Amino acid sequence: MSNEDIDIEGLIKNFRVGFDKAGLTMYVIPREDTVTLTKGEYYRFNNEDVQLYGTKVILHTPCSGVIYGRYLIRSDDYVKGLYLVITDTECDIDVLWLEEGLGARMHVKSNEALLVIVRLMRLRTRKVKPDSYALRIMRTLNLSGKLLYSDANHEIQVFGIERMLISQFRDNCANELSIRRWRLVFDRCGFVTEVFNDGSTVALLINDVNSIVINRYFPSLNKWYELSKVLGFSKYLVVLKGEV
One-letter amino acid at 214 equals I
Residues (pLDDT < 70) of the chain are 1-4, 124-126, 165-171, 243-244
Query: What is residue 1's predicted lDDT score, i.e. its pLDDT?
Result: 43
Query: What is residue 78's predicted lDDT score, i.e. its pLDDT?
Result: 85
Q: Looking at the chain, how many residues does it have?
A: 244
Query: What is residue 244's predicted lDDT score, i.e. its pLDDT?
Result: 46
Q: pLDDT (tens digit, 9 = 90+) per residue, 210-240?
A: 999 999 998 877 888 888 999 999 999 999 9
Query: What is residue 112's predicted lDDT score, i.e. its pLDDT?
Result: 98
Q: pLDDT (tens digit, 9 = 90+) per residue, 103-122?
A: 999 999 999 999 999 998 87
Domain ranges of the chain: 3-122, 132-241
Rounded Cα distance between 192 and 201, Å, is: 16
Strands (E), the chain: 17-21, 24-30, 42-51, 58-75, 78-87, 91-97, 102-108, 112-122, 143-150, 156-164, 174-179, 182-197, 201-207, 211-218, 223-231, 235-241
CA 213 to chain centre: 15
Query: What is residue 169's predicted lDDT score, i.e. its pLDDT?
Result: 61
